[in-house]
Amino acid sequence: MRRIVVPVVLVMLVAGCAGRKSSLLLERRMRGAISEEAFVGKPVSWKLEPVTQTQVQRDIEVQVQYASFEYLKGFFSNKAVFGAYAGKNPYFPEQLLFYVKVANRSDKEILINPGDIALTDDHGNQYPVLGQDYVTAFAESRRPMAVATRGVIEDARPGYFGVSLPVGRFFAAKPQGPFALLSQSALKGGLLLPGTVYDGLVSFWNPPATVKTLRLLIENIKTDFDASELPKASLDFSFEFTTTKP
């Protein structure tokens, strides 16, 4: 009888785990009308123009480039940049990405914060930057059932019903490569000294496929710090893209 009960319990546990989403994925994906939510975060093949834009304010140069999935394929496979971690693009077609480069050509330090970057569309929606936790949670939700099942079976040990499951671990160990690529490529906040050039990727949930214009806002770059380390000025950069048929 024990041989019959164990597989049933195991299947029930696996099915329950595989159907559960991270709480991060249950949040609204943008600030806008609730009626728009159903159209956000869908796979979209974007073509944005112009692909690359550059603006300069007070000797702070900001360059933005639309990072298509063709671009990202070459970006992440570059072994000269990522070494042993180079490989498959860790992002998904449900996400929209931009490559951002900030060059501090002034004689003063500046402070950037990716939390002050946002994307807006002509439907009146606003999208915050996706943190690595959101991208990771989405990747976990897309893992096939077979992977989850294998993880449970591999971790199973003798127990009361002939097999016991480690609490809180229903998946095989996460591969390190994709998480290393996310960490190494993301634009992170911090202080940039004079002469410093810093770059990285910022990602968002896809806006609805029917939008015609997108605006990337890189705001609140702080500069002109006084003796008390308080900024006396902040700079805002706005980059507008039009969408066309791929």
pLDDT digits (tens, 9 = 90+) for 34-52: 999 999 999 999 999 999 9
DSSP letter (8 states) at residue 205: E
The larger pLDDT score, comparing residue 235 to residue 147, is at 235
Q: 32-35 long-range contacts, Cβ below 8 Å, gap at least 24?
A: 32/123, 32/124, 32/125, 32/126, 33/123, 33/124, 33/125
Give me the number of domains the chain comprises. Answer: 1
For 186-209, write each residue's pLDDT tens digit.
Answer: 999 999 999 999 999 999 999 999
Count CA within 13 A, CB hemisphere, residue 43.
4
- Taking the C-alpha atoms of residue 29 and residue 126, their distance in angstroms, rounded to an integer, is 9
Q: Residues 242, 245, 246, CA angle at the centre, nearest 5°? A: 110
Domain range for 133 is 2-243
pLDDT at 67 over 50: yes
- For residue 144, the model assigns a pLDDT of 62
Q: What's the mean per-residue pLDDT of the chain?
A: 84
- For residue 3, the model assigns a pLDDT of 54
